[in-house]
Chain A
Amino acid sequence: MGKGSGQREVKPGDSLRAGIEGAPIEPGDRMSPGIQFEEPLIFERSRTGRRGFVLGQGDWDVDDVDPAAELGGGLFRDEPAELPEVSEPEVVRHFTRLSQWNYSIDAGFYPLGSCTMKYNPKINEATARMAGFAQLHPYMPDQWCQGALELLWRLERILCEVAGLPACSLQPAAGAQGELAGLMCIRAYHQSRGDTQRTRIIVPDSAHGTNPASAAFNGFSVVEVASNADGTLDPAAVEAVMDETVAGLMITNPNTLGIFEKEIEAICEVVHRGGGKVYMDGANMNAILGKARPGDFGIDVMHFNVHKTFSTPHGGGGPGGGPICVSDDLEPFLPVPRIERSEGEDGPVYRRDFDGHPQSVGKVKAFWGNFLVYVRAYTYLREYGSDLPGISERAVLNANYMRARLSDTYNVAYPGRCMHEVVFDDSSFRDFGVSTMDVAKRLIDFGFHPPTIYFPLNVDGALMVEPTETESLRAIDEFVEAMETIHAEAEHSPQLLEAAPQNAFRNRLDETTAARRPILTYRQLREER
């Protein structure tokens, strides 16, 4: 089993020193190697004939069925699949141990820039588990799920209010699908006017990484526009490429440098004058809730990432939610079904409307969107109520506090006040022979999830930190101190960074070989061995 199968002889600080005598380390009380368990693949735990449970046999009051005869030859395997054969406790331990290797916002600070890894309040889970929501079946008729439809309708109204746009669809399953659905609406809008020559989408280099991919996936060609020396987009740069072949612009605001696009109104004006529409990636909405409404500054269509901004499960804990809000021009093209509200004899009645929108781009997601994710988002929004702007104020304050404290040691890529996240480059430590990757890996030794690195692409060795509003001053100070310590180490003992992480379940992984010669299946692994 190797390392960590029982107790480990590791004292706090030993692992930080990485075996280098005289390393200038004062181990803090944060170090907690703890008990760590190795765990093989579940296939490797398998023993022939072992079972979790066995259905009672021989006392059924139904007739035996021959599956081969019932299913036909094509659907019935001659040989049983080689599935792992394990007992129930082995299954439970397997997955519990894997979960213990994981890192989550419930375990600690998670400053992954551009991802808004805020704490997810547990009340979200409580409402999502209410039987009236959790046990709904998607095929239930509308009259049996009025409460669920009302929740979706109310959530749409709140999102429209925050967006400053009149109509909403909750169907897209996450941000990238919101981009897809929004661009489909833009294309359908142009086509409905007989304008079929608009085949291009403008995307600034400070946009979110998925934007050009979504445009290309939608059959558009991408025109990239460089941002200026301040890290923002100039209306003139958009003007230079805007013509009658441009369907629209995709912009992320605040952009991926954590800077608000101050010229956004003028930029939208240029695109509108040229006959195009403006899509806004709402990934960074956490910075401007109740402060600036995209519809008010000229946006025609946008998505929210409810898993970022409104505290629903995120990443591997998904699924996500990427609702889109649109202007009146684009409203007829929203996906169906739409949630309709009308006045009945006993109050409002809600229904799913499939047929009342003949220009709709159609359905983009099986069933009705990730419903329980929206129960969580709605709960969160109702919990905050009118204090929504306070979320953004605290998120921006935390990021600026961190920027101000760290700018003594690290170089801020675009100086000046930031929004909810701050981007550093590698110029303050590159000359020590240390890379951004090394700094990120070393943070693991101090008990922090590394920030986003090497993104955005227009910053050399980018290190992008987003503390969110849910971290305390103490948590942020601890992170700053770890970053300062690491900077001093980079100067005086760069080997410490190159060897990091030492205080982790796995040391530095060989990402290059993993990318060059990936082993993705158990069968492949067996062959390699």
Chain B
Amino acid sequence: MDIPENYRFSDDHEWTDDQGDGTVVVGISHHAQDALGDIVFVELHGEEGVLEQGDDFGVVESVKTVSDLFAPVSGEVVAFNEALEDEPELVNEDPYDRGWIVKIKMSDPSQLEELMDAEEYEAFLTEGA
């Protein structure tokens, strides 16, 4: 699957889509959902909260394993994709759009610069394989 060009990626295979209003939408990459297999459950640790970059804030459970979600940027969680409660498969079917997980209001937008762009992420995946 094509890696969306305007997204930025963390080492933990999470993507961010900058909304241009100080918020980013966050999800897991196509590679991550493929490695995890069929996702059966997505859950946040708390209803809302302030996260530091790298904090684990939730879990993604698949038929194979349970995997932590790590905040790609610092900020406050302002929305959770409630569609995932009934349809966790959206993460598999459409990881870069309808399978988004949370929206974060960034406290330090410059952190986006530290993340990989699409080209770097693609290289990162090739190295890892």
Contacts and interface: CB of A to CB of B under 8 A. Distances in A.
Interface of A: 437, 454, 457, 460, 511-512, 515-516
Interface string B30-43: 00000100101100
A454 B63 CA distance: 10
A50 B47 CA distance: 52
Nearest to B64: A454
B89 interface: yes
Given A516-B40, A516-B88, A516-B89, A511 B65 contact: no
B73 to A, nearest CB: 22
Contacts of B65: 454, 457
Residue among B61, B64, B65, B88 with max Cβ neighbours from chain A (10 Å): B64
A515 B41 contact: yes
Contacts of A457: 65
Nearest to A455: B65
Nearest to A518: B40
A512 B40 contact: yes
Contacts of A515: 38, 40-41, 61, 63
Residue among A454, A511, A515 with max Cβ neighbours from chain B (10 Å): A515
Nearest to B40: A515
Contacts of A516: 40-41, 88-89
B129 to A, nearest CB: 10
A460 B64 CA distance: 11
Given A457-B65, A511-B38, A512-B40, 17 more contacts: A437-B64, A454-B64, A454-B65, A460-B35, A511-B63, A512-B38, A512-B63, A512-B89, A515-B38, A515-B40, A515-B41, A515-B61, A515-B63, A516-B40, A516-B41, A516-B88, A516-B89
A27 to B, nearest CB: 31
A288 to B, nearest CB: 28
A515 B65 CA distance: 12
A25 B38 CA distance: 31
A149 to B, nearest CB: 43
Nearest to B63: A511
Contacts of B63: 511-512, 515
A452 to B, nearest CB: 12
Nearest to B67: A457
B88 to A, nearest CB: 6
A285 to B, nearest CB: 26
20 contacts: A437-B64, A454-B64, A454-B65, A457-B65, A460-B35, A511-B38, A511-B63, A512-B38, A512-B40, A512-B63, A512-B89, A515-B38, A515-B40, A515-B41, A515-B61, A515-B63, A516-B40, A516-B41, A516-B88, A516-B89
Nearest to B66: A457
A457 to B, nearest CB: 6
